[in-house]
Structure formats: C-alpha cells, structure tokens
C-alpha cells in the first residue's frame, strides 16, 4: 500500500499538487485519471521520488520516502518497476537484452539465471517468439509488452505506468490493460496507472483517483463512477458522446430497478 498524505508540489510558484491525500492499494490496479495538465504525471513522479514534494508524506508500506536519504531511496527503487510514456526500449539491444538489462545493472545473478528470468518474463507477456528481434522490428503493442516484461523483471512490489496505452489502437490498449491487471493480481503488486482513457477506467479501474487542477476531486471504483455528483469528473467522463449514452442507459436501468423494488 502506498499512502500519500497532504502532498504539495510547486514549480516556480506554480502549485501543481494542492494538498493531495490518497491511498493506492496492494494487489490492485490503482488509476490516476484527469485532464491533460491536471497533475497526473507530477503526482506519479512525486510518489516515485523523482520529484521531491515541498511538504507532505509518501509512505510505501509505512516507509516514508520524503525523509529518506539518497541511498535508502535507491534501495527502495529496486522494489519499483516503471513504464513511462513511450516504451523507452534500447534500440541497439535485442528484446531479450532489453529485459535482461535491469538484472545486469542491479543483481549478482549468473548470466544463465538472468537469461532464464528474462525469458520467463517475456513468456509471461507472450513474446517468446521475439527474443532476438530489435525493438525497431516489432509493433508498438509488442514494444509495450516488452517494456512491461522489463518493468517486472526485478519482481517489483510497486509498478508505475504512465499512459501505457498512448499510441495504441483500442483493442491493443485493452490487451495491455488486461496484462497489467493480470500481472498486478498474480504477483500482488501495488500498481498505479496514469490514464485519460475512459476504456481503461471501465476495464481496470479498481481504485480510481480523479485529479482536477492539482486537487484530488474524487476517489472510488469503476462501479461508482457514473454516480458521483462531482462536476469536474462528470465533465471529464462525459466529454465523449459514447459515455453520455452509457450514463443514460445506466440511469434507465437504475430507475427500472427501483420501480421494480417499489412494486
């Protein structure tokens, strides 16, 4: 579990995070949603410790990173897998070498053990057939899967994904979302995903934190999101006509259910 308590972060007098408090739960896909520029990436980078917050606390299973020295923070980073915007694979390395890279950097494993572990992770994301290809030779969706394999190769307790679906078609996005959620459940990871994709929200939104202009405006699950009464959230969700129709249908079935109960 990751707890954020009263996080404030400014850049040159511009306050981007305004007293954000929230909890990201273990073994769940926790989503941070909100409009472009609302502060999702700044929040995620603050939680990871890439940005140091001005005030407040961030606790990883009780461990406060805001008071950690660099050495402690580096040790904690070993427990974190990251997938940032773009897959950021190394073009000069094969898919297998890319996934093995964190093991080369951070472990004392033998070459044989490292290859075995990297192959296991690549098998998990169904890329066993692409081990020797270079990132340029595989599709965008496959690159994302390779990046996920690399993010989990050190067996992280925490996984951060910033817009994992950017640049992917809806069907491939769905597969990536499902893969992230399956891995989260399978390895009991505290996963945080930044997204502004409503499909992802409805697919994997087990714990959703809505950020509006740097403030946490709402928190709940995908089943609660159509009835929040939170105006900025409604604006965000129902910007798409498709979700306006879904809201109408949702209301229709609710009304029907309550009239059946009354009878």
Ligand X SMILES: Nc1ncnc2c1ncn2[C@@H]1O[C@H](COP(=O)(O)OP(=O)(O)OP(=O)(O)O)[C@@H](O)[C@H]1O
The answer to whether 13 contacts ligand X (rule: CB under 6 A) is no
Judged by CB under 6 A, the stretch of 18-26, 34-42, 100-108, 179-187 that binds ligand X is: 34-42
Whole-angstrom distance, CA of residue 76 vs CA of residue 65:
9
Q: Which residues pair with 149 in a beta bridge?
A: none
Residues that bind Mg ion (CB under 5 A): 40-41
The answer to whether 34 contacts ligand X (rule: CB under 6 A) is yes
Provide the residue count of the chain: 263
Whole-angstrom distance, CA of residue 12 vs CA of residue 256:
53
**Using CB under 6 A, which of 22, 41, 173, 181 touches ligand X?**
41
Residue 78 binding target from Mg ion, ligand X, none, CB below 5 to 8 Å by type: none
Coil, helix or strand at residue 103? helix
Judged by CB under 6 A, the stretch of 37-45, 67-75, 110-118, 247-255 that binds ligand X is: 37-45
Residue 145 binding target from ligand X, Mg ion, none, CB below 5 to 8 Å by type: none
The pair of three-digit structure tokens given for residue 75, joined into one six-digit string = 């040790």
Whole-angstrom distance, CA of residue 262 vs CA of residue 241:
32
For ligand X, the closer CB: 38 or 98: 38
State in angstroms the smallest separation of the CB of 40 from Mg ion. Answer: 5
Burial class, 56, CB count within 10 angstroms (exposed 0-12 / middle 13-18 / buried 19+): middle
Write the binding mask 196 to 215 for ligand X: x where contact by CB under 6 A, - elsewhere: x-------------------
Residue 29: which H helix or E strand, with range?
Answer: strand 29-33
Residue 184: which H helix or E strand, with range?
Answer: helix 170-186
The answer to whether 11 contacts ligand X (rule: CB under 6 A) is yes
State in angstroms the smallest separation of the CB of 44 from Mg ion. Answer: 8
Name the residues that contact ligand X, by CB under 6 A. Answer: 11, 16, 34, 36-42, 196
């Amino acid at each position: 579990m990751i707890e954020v308590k009263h996080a404030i972060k400014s850049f040159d007098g511009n306050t981007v995070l305004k007293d954000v408090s929230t909890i990201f739960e273990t073994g769940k896909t926790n989503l941070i949603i909100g409009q472009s520029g609302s502060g999702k990436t700044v929040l995620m980078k603050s939680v990871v410790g890439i940005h140091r917050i001005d005030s407040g606390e961030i606790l990883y299973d009780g461990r406060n990173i805001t008071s950690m020295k660099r050495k402690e923070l580096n040790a904690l980073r070993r427990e974190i897998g990251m997938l940032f915007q773009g897959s950021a694979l190394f073009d000069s390395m094969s898919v297998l070498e890319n996934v093995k890279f964190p093991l080369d950097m951070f472990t004392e494993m033998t070459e044989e053990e490292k290859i075995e572990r990297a192959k296991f992770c690549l098998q998990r994301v169904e890329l066993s057939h692409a081990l020797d290809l270079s990132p340029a030779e595989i599709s965008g969706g496959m690159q994302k899967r390779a990046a996920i394999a690399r993010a989990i190769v050190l067996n992280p307790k925490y996984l951060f994904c910033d817009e994992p679906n950017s640049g992917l078609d809806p069907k491939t996005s769905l597969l990536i979302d499902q893969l992230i959620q399956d891995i989260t459940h399978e390895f009991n990871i505290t996963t945080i995903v930044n997204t502004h994709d409503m499909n992802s929200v409805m697919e994997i939104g087990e714990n959703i934190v809505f950020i509006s202009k740097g403030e946490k405006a709402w928190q709940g699950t995908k089943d609660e999101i159509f009835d929040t009464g939170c105006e900025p959230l409604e604006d965000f969700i129902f910007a798409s006509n498709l979700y306006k129709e879904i809201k109408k249908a949702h209301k229709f079935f609710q009304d029907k259910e309550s009239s059946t109960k009354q009878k």
